[in-house]
């Protein structure tokens, strides 16, 4: 028994343990997600975060000790964000024919997503740091987290808000638009991508390839626009 | 491949330096992304090697958010305190924005159809 404790004490001090746990749990969560035919509530990031939070609480491990190992993965977020330019470029090429309606709808959608979050959150009495953390939630996670942190928000809360937004869009978006008589798959896909990023884009692809392509386009464009609009709107609203 | 990795890191680094120098409230990696995007538009195509690197790194993008997401452990008290307001805000604002975006695009496509 004391030998096991000794091994645990040794491992708990090494970055390798939590690095392995993070990658291992994500790999399992990703398999579970695929096995469930990509059911939105089984989002692999959500499941991984919840499981690891549970493990940290159970083992009484401080977040800083966890992050000593996990930082090697975290570091890759920066280069990955730069590389988002590649799919964005591929998607922007499809714009050419309908660029004006799409760009206008993008701007209206992006602004309404940010302002609706601030307005509703403010009415419900949320404090400024939470409002800032909510503002970029329609953008894809790396952009949203970096934007939130830059303005004094909490990046980890933003990550959770982004996932929750994606799941809401993926589960309720299509039924809601159908309720309002929307039948055009391009329109539905684009709205899902702009407001509920990659999680709803995956949902749109299950519907049809065309809806998925429009969702991907909306997601890519709004990632860039959110990064520029959130600082501007936060400044105008006196939150930054 | 090493050259491409160096280019991507240099774009991020340049973005961070510009943010520090100008006080621009945009994240450094986002500036790097916008710079790379503009370069691709000017060049007219993405180099195949860079596409391969993007696919490799973006294929499991979700994994990269997990370490920061686990940071939520520090805010469990705050979330327990405010969960109803947070969930209401998240669901309501997401649904409103989806409807606004879809209705705007439908209106614009319809007008365009009527005029030409």
Residue B115 in this model has a pLDDT that exceeds 70: no
pLDDT winner (highest mean) among A1-10, A31-40, A92-101 = A31-40
Query: DSSP class of residue B60?
Result: T
**C-alpha closest to that of B54 among A185, A79, A154, A178:** A79
Whether the CB of B17 is below 8 Å from some CB of chain A: the reply is: no
Are B28 and B69 within one domain? no
For range A216-232, the mean pLDDT: 93
Residue B114 in this model has a pLDDT that exceeds 70: no
Q: Which domain does B83 fall in, by range?
A: 65-116
Last residue of a domain, one of B24, B43, B59: B59
Interface of A with B in 118-157 (CB under 8 A): 119-121, 124-126, 130, 134, 137-138, 141-143, 145-147, 149-151, 154-157
Give A109-152 pLDDT, tens digit per residue: 999 999 999 999 999 999 999 999 999 999 999 999 999 999 99
Angle (nearest 5°) at CA B98 between A156 and A216: 70
Tokens in use for A146? 């970096």
- Residue of A121, A160, A227 with shortest CB distance to B89: A121
The pLDDT assigned to A216 comes to 87
Are B69 and B55 within one domain? no
The pLDDT assigned to A1 comes to 62
Q: Is A110 exposed, middle or buried (0-12, 13-18, 19+ CB in 10 A)?
A: buried
Are B2 and B55 within one domain? yes
Last residue of a domain, one of B16, B36, B59: B59
**Nearest-CA residue of chain B relative to A54?**
B73
The pLDDT assigned to A196 comes to 95
- The verdict on pTM exceeding 0.90 is no
Whether the CB of A1 is below 8 Å from some CB of chain B: the reply is: no
The pLDDT assigned to B104 comes to 96
Are B71 and B109 within one domain? yes
For range A163-169, the mean pLDDT: 92
**C-alpha closest to that of A151 among B84, B19, B15, B65:** B19
What domain count does chain B have? 2
Considering only CB atoms, which chain B residues are within 8 Å of A98? 109, 112
Last residue of a domain, one of B16, B39, B59: B59
Considering only CB atoms, which chain A residues are within 8 Å of B35? 85
Are B2 and B54 within one domain? yes
Alpha helices for A75-184 (secondary structure H): 77-83, 85-95, 99-123, 128-134, 141-150, 155-179
Q: Measure in Å the smallest separation between the Cα of A72 and chain B Cα atoms.
A: 9
Give B39-98 pLDDT, tens digit per residue: 999 999 888 899 999 888 888 888 998 998 899 999 999 999 999 999 999 999 999 999
3-state SS assignment for residue A80: helix
Interchain CB distance below 8 Å, A81 and B12: yes
Are B95 and B51 within one domain? no
Give A61-114 pLDDT, tens digit per residue: 999 999 999 999 999 989 998 998 998 888 787 776 788 999 999 999 999 999
The pLDDT assigned to A228 comes to 94
Are B24 and B71 within one domain? no
Interface of B with A in 69-98 (CB under 8 A): 69-76, 78-79, 82, 85-98
Are B32 and B82 within one domain? no
- In a mutagenesis test of the A interface, which of B7, B30, B44, B50 is the best target, namely the one with the most A β-carbons within 10 Å? B30
Residues composing chain A? 240
Are B10 and B48 within one domain? yes
Q: Which distant-in-sequence residues (6+ apart) come within 8 Å of B21 by Cβ?
A: none
Tokens in use for B3? 């050259």
Interchain CB distance below 8 Å, B69 and A156: yes
Q: Measure in Å the smallest separation between the Cα of A184 and chain B Cα atoms.
A: 8
Helix, strand, coil in percent for chain A, rounding step 5:
85, 0, 15
Interchain CB distance below 8 Å, A116 and B67: no
In this structure, what are the phi and psi dihedrals at residue A139, rounded to the nearest 5 degrees?
A: -80, 160
**Nearest-CA residue of chain A relative to B102?**
A191
Are B53 and B72 within one domain? no
């Amino acid at each position: 028994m004391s030998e096991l404790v000794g091994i645990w004490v040794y491992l708990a001090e090494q970055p390798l343990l939590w690095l392995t746990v993070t990658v291992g749990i994500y790999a399992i969560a990703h398999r579970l997600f695929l096995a469930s035919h990509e059911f939105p509530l089984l989002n692999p990031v959500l499941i991984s975060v919840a499981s690891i939070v549970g493990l940290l609480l159970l083992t009484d491990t401080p977040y800083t000790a966890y992050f000593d190992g996990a930082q090697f993965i975290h570091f890759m977020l920066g280069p990955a964000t730069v590389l988002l330019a590649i799919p964005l470029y591929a998607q922007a090429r499809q714009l050419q024919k309908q660029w004006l309606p799409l760009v206008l709808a993008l701007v209206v959608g992006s602004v309404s997503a940010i302002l609706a979050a601030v307005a509703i959150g403010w009415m419900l009495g949320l404090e400024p740091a939470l409002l800032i953390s909510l503002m970029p939630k329609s953008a894809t996670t790396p952009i949203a987290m970096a934007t939130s942190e830059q303005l004094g928000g909490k990046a980890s809360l933003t990550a959770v808000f982004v996932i929750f937004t994606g799941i809401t869009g993926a589960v309720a978006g299509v039924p809601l638009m159908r309720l309002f008589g929307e039948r055009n798959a391009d329109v539905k896909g684009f709205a899902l991508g702009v407001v509920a990023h990659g999680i709803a884009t995956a949902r749109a692809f299950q519907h049809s390839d065309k809806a998925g392509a429009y969702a991907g386009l909306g997601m890519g464009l709004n990632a860039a626009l959110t990064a520029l609009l959130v600082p501007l709107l936060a400044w105008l609203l006196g939150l930054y | 491949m090493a050259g491409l990795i160096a280019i991507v890191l240099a774009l991020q680094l340049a973005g961070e330096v510009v943010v520090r120098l100008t006080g621009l409230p945009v994240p450094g990696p986002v500036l790097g992304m916008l710079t790379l995007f503009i370069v691709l538009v000017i060049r007219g195509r993405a180099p195949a090697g860079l596409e391969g690197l993007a696919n490799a790194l973006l294929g499991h993008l979700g994994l990269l958010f997990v370490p920061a997401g686990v940071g939520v452990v520090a805010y469990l008290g705050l979330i327990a305190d405010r969960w109803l307001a947070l969930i209401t805000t998240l669901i309501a604002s997401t649904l409103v924005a989806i409807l606004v975006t879809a209705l705007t695009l439908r209106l614009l496509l319809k007008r365009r159809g009527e005029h030409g």
